[in-house]
Copies of this chain bind each other. A is one copy, B any other.
Amino acid sequence: MLLTILYIIGITAEAMTGALAAGRKHMDWFGVMLVASATAIGGGTVRDILLGHYPLGWVENPHYLMITCVAGVITTCMAGWVAKNHKFFVSMDALGLIVFSIIGCRVGMDMGLPAFICVVSGLVTGVFGGLLRDLICRRPPMVLHKELYASVSFLAGWMYWAMMHYGINELIATVSTLVVGFCFRMAAARFGWSLPVFRFDAEPENSH
């Protein structure tokens, strides 16, 4: 119940940031709705396809897809306001990241998958929406270059998995993962913590 409310907040915020990315590429309303939806529910979609977990969430419950389309179009009317409240949206995005990671991890656990795959399932849910957004908008995928993002999802997934595995109450596991993950992500954004970068500038590869 708590997760459902947070999930709806999360996909709405993600859809709005997706719509802004579409606006930077001067897309029409269909493009806005597509990028908004891919950003918001693309991660869960990729996860379900990888795990063979059918039917997809938005196929069973079309309201989620309607919410992301509407949120995308509304963003076109209030882009200035969204851009001005940039920090608020960074927080909402961080919240969404942790909520998506927890939900993805749970899907893996409900399917009885190995621990590592459960955490990867949370990671895919949290991260692949933004990856799809950047792919459709033809810009460098931020999550592969920027401060800690995937790592936060990975650690939140392990934390949630471990607490559930060792029998801790579900509400406590969820709330504490949310708090720790959110603070970790906000600190990473604030202080610019990042993973080491791999630079390899030899001559361009000439064969496979």
A residues in contact (CB < 8 Å) with B: 17, 19-32, 34-35, 45, 49-52, 54-56, 59, 62, 65-66, 76, 79, 83, 90, 93-94, 97, 113-114, 116-117, 120, 130-131, 135-136, 138, 140-147, 149-151, 189, 194-202, 204-205, 207-208
Contact = CB atoms under 8 A, between A and B. Distances in A.
The residue among A54, A55, A66, A198 with the most chain B CB atoms within 10 A of its own CB is A198
Given A19-B198, A140-B138, A142-B208, A62 B28 contact: no
Contact of A198 (B26, B56, B205): B26
Q: Is the interface of A mostly helix, strand, loop or mixed?
A: helix
Given A30-B143, A200-B23, A65 B207 contact: no
Contact of A62 (B54, B76, B116, B189): B116
Given A138-B140, A208-B17, A197 B116 contact: no
B117 A198 contact: no
Given A23-B200, A200-B24, A30 B138 contact: no
Contacts of A23: 198-200
27 contacts: A20-B205, A26-B197, A27-B144, A27-B198, A28-B144, A28-B145, A28-B146, A28-B197, A30-B143, A30-B144, A31-B143, A35-B144, A49-B49, A50-B59, A51-B55, A51-B59, A65-B116, A76-B196, A79-B202, A130-B208, A135-B135, A138-B138, A138-B140, A142-B207, A142-B208, A146-B207, A146-B208
Question: Which 6 pairs of residues, A with B, have the shortest CB-CB distance?
Answer: A23-B200, A31-B144, A52-B54, A28-B195, A30-B150, A23-B198
Contacts of A151: 30
A205 to B, nearest CB: 7
A25 B140 contact: yes
Contact of A116 (B66, B79, B83, B198): B66
